[in-house]
Amino acid sequence: MPDESYHFQVIRRAIEIIDTHQGEELSLSDLAARMHMSPAHFQRLFSQWVGISPKRFHQYLTLGHARALLRERFTTLETAEAVGLSGNSRLHDLFIRWEAMTPGQYADRGAGLRIRHGWFDSPFGDMLAMGTERGLCGIAFAGDMGREAAFADMAARWPKAELIDDRAGVEPLVRAALDEGRARLHLIGGPFQIKVWEALMNIPSGQVTTYSEIAARVGSPSAVRAVGTAVGRNPVSWLIPCHRAVRKSGGLGGYHWGLPVKRAMLAREAARAEGAEVDGTGLAPGATMQPAEASQKAEPGLLSARALNRA
């Protein structure tokens, strides 16, 4: 959708205004006026960005929204995994299949890999997508640091890989994930990182969990700091939803591509989740249930298959 980045810039500006007026209850008219828009125009843009007409647009964008999510929509990963595809709390509009490099390949720092890359429009601004022949291996957002810095950040993760500027080559992987609801990922990381990233893929959309909960789930309850580092090194942002991890206190924690992006992602997912619950389907607008075989074990050569909601 060509206007998605513009929508995100509007939302980002709204977040900045709300932060500037902490403690004030800004009405829709107040917020729109500060953005030099009519209330109707701002409401329409927000609705287009979210996919529904939200009733609580202001609450979704406030700094304390993560605290409210932790109180109202916290999930334990054990429960999330048990619910799987059968639970109405999940929004089943993205099915992810992934595989990881072997530890030896990871130690080679990308040697022998050909990674194609290109820039795409997204609901969260300029998005860099990178992929191998096996699937998407990187997604980054340039809103905070710019394209050049975002690309350098990602390229440094696999310094020995052959990087090919080929938007057309990676576009089928991007379109499959964003438009068709099926994503193939090629995870390039260490064994502990892979375990953490797998845990992230079990957090339902519209919900959050804590870094300590993830640490417990991967069998290292005292390794909260190491989990936080692994979450921050997630190379496939958004599809592997590291933005759904928050601090136990309700603080947002960090986000590699900037906290405005994390806040926007959580706001959009919460609004869509609430809209789906009101609708009574448990599904995001336009979403359909995945076939039963989606919950089966992955075919040989794949480590796992998980259902995950696209924001």
CB 186 within 8 A of CB 131: yes
CB 275 within 8 A of CB 54: yes
- Give the max Cα distance, the chain: 57
Q: Characterize 264-278 residue by residue with b for buried, 16 or more Cβ atoms within 10 angstroms of its Cβ, and e for exposed.
A: bbbbbbbbbbbbbee
Query: Element (H or E) spanning 2, and its range?
Result: none
Rounded CA separation 71/168 (Å):
43
Please report where in the chains the tokens 């969990």 appear, as a residue: 209
CB 216 within 8 A of CB 71: no
Hey, which residues are catalytic here?
Answer: 242
Give the other-Cβ count within 10 Å of 121's Cβ. Answer: 17
Between the alpha carbon of residue 145 and those of residues 22, 140, 153, 261, 295, the distances in Å are 25, 10, 10, 12, 38
